[in-house]
Structure 1
Amino acid sequence: MTDAILVLNAGSSSLKFALYSDIIVGHDEAVMQTPLLRGKIANIGNAAIFSAYDAKGNVVPPQDHMICEPSATHDTLIPALLEWLQNHGGGATIKAAGHRVVHGGRAHAGPARITNTLMAELEDLVPLAPLHQPHNLAAIRHVAAFTPDLPQIACFDTSFHRTQDRLAQIFALPRALTDQGILRYGFHGLSYEYIAGRLPSYLGQHGGGRVIVAHLGNGASMCALKNRQSVATSMGFTALDGLMMGRRCGALDPGVVLHLLEQKRMSPDEITQLLYRESGLLGVSGISNDMASLEASTAPEAREAIELFCYRAACELAALCAAIGGLDAIVFTAGIGEKSALVRSMIIDRLAWMGVALDPTANEGNQTRINSDASKIVVLVIPTDEESVIARATRQLLHVGNATPAH
């Protein structure tokens, strides 16, 4: 019987899950072992699609009722998944559950054991991450209802950015508002933590140099690293800031919001819907928020959306160089960053003045190192793995107790 750690990563329309053996393999904490089981429920809210694979990559079949109902939601699928894991976990005994929680506020610079007090604290942060935080917390509640005594650990996307100095975190607002917590928090921290841990494997002694990681997916951001720590990032108080995304607008003149309120007479709820769900690639193209669909389209609106996405990404990347005093390497990761040769090429082409250039063959082949021999800057494609970061943190907290417990 194998002791295991369950990892749940609940998104707005998906639920990633994995089972990791609760056994330390060697002394390399930068890399987790292959999970015993890994899968995803995608397209939640519109006929959910289930997929799961064992450690050898073999398909593990779902229970029919998990995927048959077009109206299935997180609230119906999470309990079904937990029941399914009991029967398909390869005899593993789940000893703890680790969760991705998007917003941890100022209080947490590392993972935390989940308590009622912590849950109340995280509920207060829901307005700052409305697309993700409610689902993150719902997964925690469902696990608690299914197995009340199971230890649960929250791993925060914001924690990785707490290494930033004060100037990188504050807005030019009255000091009283800053003191109340209106700050740049940054997100996608679990992804950045994974990439930071892998940099020495790809860059050797230069792994601690000046690196910008581009996490490009339906949600998109960038992070400037030095000594493998976050120095600056594109997202801010909420996950709405920075880069253009699948449905989110990214950086926006605050005057536009005032105009929508005062002149267009839009309500706060209508503006929230507009900025979080109707903008970005979907809004500009009028076609889709999916980059692959836009690349396949011949519509000029689709091309304009792609071009704007890449223009904004190139501008943000160049700006982040100032925070770390130059640039030694660029890392593309996440769905678009790992799979779209076109997007990578269009971003790097705008940065040619920096001395960076791609090897077209390597880029088209989605190889790991895609810069040309003449490039002054290394360009890498590294698949991210947030689940392994959560599993490692959960295991460490359980056995070492080195993460900050909840109040």
Structure 2
Amino acid sequence: MADIILTINAGSSSIKFAAYEIDQGKLARLALGEIDGIGGKAHFSARKGNDEKTGFDLDQSHIAVDHRMALTAVMDWLEKEQNGANVIGVGHRVVHGGPDYCEPVLVDTAILAQLRSFEPLAPLHQPYNLAGIEAAHDCFPKAAQVACFDTAFHRRHPFIADTYALPREYYDEGVRRYGFHGLSYEFIHRILRHEEPVLARGKVAVAHLGNGASMCAINSGKSVGSTMGFTALDGLPMGTRCGQLDPGVVLYLMREKKMSADEITDLLYKNSGLKGMSGISNDVRDLEASTEQSAKDALDYFVSRVRRNLGGLCAELGGLDCLVLTGGIGENAVNVRKAILQNLEWFGIQIDFAANARNERIISEKGSPTVVLILKTDEERMIAAHTAELLNLKEPLVPAIA
């Protein structure tokens, strides 16, 4: 029976999971899957190794599927597909670690209670992340539960990168810039350090561009700035989230439009961004295929904001040695990348547009002062690596950041 590390990314209506075996000191991914429609018509889909994805609807004849029932389905599937599976550790993506957590932790009752106190800081993510931990504890009672935080990579920011221009008491209460997508940034930097150690020691900007989007400035392996702030709403426009917004707009919506906090939350998190601007879709592929002006406007706005924030991060770094593009858009959207990177020679970025069109790993011209890379992120593997490292089961995935 194989010893397995399971990774869980639990949301309000879905659970994404991956299963890894430690094989000769390295993580070997055995399976990847997702349960959609928790609380409603739940559907399980997964693939083992490189096999074709299979799926089935979960039985809801007696009661609606919750997180615990969803993880029970994962456990049953793993035992069947692996001819027995011993889950020894479960690594969880937890969006918010608050001001205290700068590295993964083993979860116990006290820590779970503290993480629950951060729910007001991430109301659309944190409660469901913690529900996943509780469900995993029920399903895998002998396994260690490890919380891996999306904010942890940014927790050593200098004060000026974390604060807002509010009275200091609010900062002390936790109203500060946290930054998110830290698991993705940490994975990218580990890979960069392994494959391009000279660049990794320099000034690096990483653009995590997907349905959720942000950018991070990394200097000598440490995050020194992020486009996201107190919540995952800030910074770049995203699939359905607004990105940077004058707080006066929120006051206007409250006073003039008489919108409630819940209505504003729904607007800013679920009905803004590319979806709201275009009135068509949150998917870049749909917008690129559309002939509507609103689709073009939404993409143009996204591109302009990425370019503007790139300039800001470079000012924060005091220069730029390497730019990495990752995430679904960063890794695949050739035309969006081209629009972001064109005419930046003055900035030290010289792009080989033929290489960009071929989705090559290096898309900057030879001799470009700034090297531009496309790297595939893998947050699940980062969570698995953290879990294994915390349990002293293996050496780091690649050389750890000092």
Q: Provide the TM-score with structure 1 as the length reference.
A: 0.90
Displacement of 1:39: 2.5
Residue among 260, 268, 281 paired with 1:275: 268
Sequence identity, in percent?
47
Quick one: distance in 2 between partners of 1:281 and 1:66?
35
Displacement of 1:4: 1.3
1:221-265 C-alpha deviation (Å, 9 max, x unpaired): 000011121010010011111110011101111111111111221
Cα pair 2:106 2:146 within 8 Å, conserved:
yes
Residue among 34, 37, 40 paired with 2:31: 37
Quick one: distance in 2 between partners of 1:380 and 1:46?
41
Alignment correspondent of 2:157? 164
Displacement of 1:59: 2.9
Alignment correspondent of 1:380? 373
Quick one: distance in 2 between partners of 1:75 and 1:296?
40
Residues 73 and 344 (structure 1 numbering): CA distance in 2 closer, same or farther, change over 3 Å? Answer: farther
Secondary structure, aligned partner of 2:266? helix
Quick one: distance in 1 between partners of 2:38 and 2:352?
38
Quick one: distance in 1 between partners of 2:120 and 2:140?
28
Alignment correspondent of 1:323? 316
Residues 344 and 322 (structure 1 numbering): CA distance in 2 closer, same or farther, change over 3 Å? Answer: same
* Structure 1 stretch displaced more, 151-160 or 359-368: 359-368
Residues 333-348 of structure 1: pairs in structure 2 closer than 5 A = 333-348=326-341
Displacement of 1:95: 0.7
Residue among 295, 306, 309 paired with 1:313: 306
The gaps in structure 1 that reach 5 residues or longer are 26-31, 403-407
- The alignment yields a C-alpha RMSD, in angstroms, of 2.5
Residues 167 and 39 (structure 1 numbering): CA distance in 2 closer, same or farther, change over 3 Å? Answer: same
Residue among 49, 53, 71 paired with 1:78: 71
Residue among 201, 205, 227 paired with 1:212: 205
Cα pair 2:364 2:373 within 8 Å, conserved:
yes
Alignment correspondent of 1:4? 4
1:22-65 C-alpha deviation (Å, 9 max, x unpaired): 4562xxxxxx533122233457678666443333x123634553
Alignment correspondent of 1:103? 96
Secondary structure, aligned partner of 1:399? coil
1:355-392 C-alpha deviation (Å, 9 max, x unpaired): 31322221122111111235321111100011111111
Quick one: distance in 1 between partners of 2:61 and 2:316?
50
Quick one: distance in 2 between partners of 1:49 and 1:347?
37
Quick one: distance in 2 between partners of 1:123 and 1:249?
26
Which protein has the bigger strand share? Answer: 2
Alignment correspondent of 1:54? 48
The gaps in structure 2 that reach 5 residues or longer are 396-402
- Work out whether 1:366 is the aligned partner of 2:373: no
- Work out whether 1:142 is the aligned partner of 2:135: yes
Amino acid at match of 1:39: G
Cα pair 1:38 1:53 within 8 Å, conserved:
yes
Residues 176 and 263 (structure 1 numbering): CA distance in 2 closer, same or farther, change over 3 Å? Answer: same
Amino acid at match of 1:259: Y
Quick one: distance in 2 between partners of 1:133 and 1:343?
31
Quick one: distance in 1 between partners of 2:388 and 2:334?
36
Displacement of 1:74: 4.8
- Work out whether 1:187 is the aligned partner of 2:180: yes
Displacement of 1:191: 0.4
Quick one: distance in 1 between partners of 2:357 and 2:15?
30
Displacement of 1:114: 1.0
Displacement of 1:86: 2.4
Amino acid at match of 2:89: A
Amino acid at match of 1:363: N
Alignment correspondent of 2:21? 21
Cα pair 1:244 1:309 within 8 Å, conserved:
yes
- Work out whether 1:251 is the aligned partner of 2:264: no
Quick one: distance in 1 between partners of 2:37 and 2:309?
30
Residues 296 and 362 (structure 1 numbering): CA distance in 2 closer, same or farther, change over 3 Å? Answer: same
Amino acid at match of 1:127: P
- Work out whether 1:332 is the aligned partner of 2:325: yes
Displacement of 1:19: 1.4
Cα pair 1:63 1:84 within 8 Å, conserved:
no
Quick one: distance in 2 between partners of 1:234 and 1:68?
45
Displacement of 1:344: 0.9
Displacement of 1:130: 2.6
Amino acid at match of 2:48: D
Residues 385-404 of structure 1: pairs in structure 2 closer than 5 A = 385-399=378-392
Cα pair 2:22 2:28 within 8 Å, conserved:
no
Alignment correspondent of 1:230? 223
Amino acid at match of 1:54: K
Cα pair 1:248 1:280 within 8 Å, conserved:
yes
- Work out whether 1:357 is the aligned partner of 2:347: no
Alignment correspondent of 2:283? 290
Amino acid at match of 1:147: F
Amino acid at match of 1:372: E
Quick one: distance in 1 between partners of 2:220 and 2:300?
32
Cα pair 2:92 2:133 within 8 Å, conserved:
yes
Cα pair 1:62 1:84 within 8 Å, conserved:
no
